[in-house]
Amino acid sequence: MVGSFGVSLLFGTFVAMQADSQMDRHKINTIAVYGSHDTLRLTDDVAALLTALAEHGVDLYIETPLWEALSQAGIPEGYPQMRLGGETPYGDIALSLGGDGTLLRAVHKLRDVELPIWAINCGHLGFMTEMEPQEAWHHLDDLLAGQYSIETRTLIDVSVAGEHVGTALNDLAVQKRETGSIIKIRADLDGDLLAEYAADGLVVSTPSGSTAYALSLGGPIVTPQCQTLLLVPIAPHTLNMAPLIFPDTSVLTMRVSSLHPTFSIVIDGNLRVYDCGVEIVARKSDKRAHLLRLSHKPYTQVIREKLLWGRDLR
């Protein structure tokens, strides 16, 4: 038995699909493989999934760090379909093997090409992943035959001082950099003043991210199909600053003032530091994340299983 790792695979020829629609049958020929730098060991289940794909005649192109980990585990031996590949994502379908962090990483890498991602949980909670690796290989025939649906998810584009600085599947957090005092954030919605928040920060979330940082701050769960965004204050100085749901057609503009000269923006876990006073703009992206679904598990079942929704824990 070898340990766990985060890895993403990209497949064949993409056919654009609407959310939850059925994809035409097609032959999957090529997979580009990339993995995380955190844990590069493999579980038996993940190794079995990779070898099964190779045995189905699918070519696997693997980036250098993951290739080295696979080589140490002896996985590529005897499988000419497994080979060293480059960093550029290409193909048609992405398979993310890891937790939600691996899925977020795959979404960011694939943003410009919008490849569908099948997310298999090799991490901990894996809220946005679809199934465990020991289940995944049972679905390979359907996958390779193109018998799956695509669920689209909203992304948020973030710009600072007029420059695009990132795209979020989950959320962006505008936060103070030092712990001694709060910051003030002026927030305007579609050019109209919303409020001046005195708080440790603000989280702007997609429906997908409503079960992440925003939920821990007391925000509501928003189902992925809702065409909304969510604004949740972090430790507000007053009790009348409640979470706000607003249409995803709106544009949110923010400016930070603080005793400290700088503040931070965290986009899906990636931190950047900026000078106070710059304009921050958050809006729905023209791009979308595409999640591949084979199990067709309803979202209500996901929150019951992952969040123990409605369960009596007394």
Binding annotation: 100-101, 105, 170-171, 200, 211-216, 235, 270
Token output for 284: 């729905």
Token output for 205: 């979330």
Upper half-sphere CA count for residue 301 (Cβ side, 13 Å): 6
The C-alpha angle with vertex 139 and arms to 170 and 13, in degrees rounded to 5, equals 70
Alpha-carbon dihedral 37, 293, 113, 89, rounded to 10 degrees: 40
Among the listed residues 100, 141, 188, 268, the single catalytic one is 100
Strands (E), the chain: 5-11, 21-22, 30-40, 59-62, 82-84, 93-98, 116-121, 149-160, 163-168, 171-176, 183-189, 192-199, 201-205, 228-234, 244-247, 252-257, 262-267, 270-275, 280-293
Sign of dihedral through CA atoms 254, 156, 37, 85? negative
Binding residues for NAD(+): 100-101, 105, 170-171, 200, 211-216, 235, 270
Active site includes 192? no
156, 104, 91, 190: which is closest to 287 by C-alpha? 156
* Catalytic annotation, residues: 100
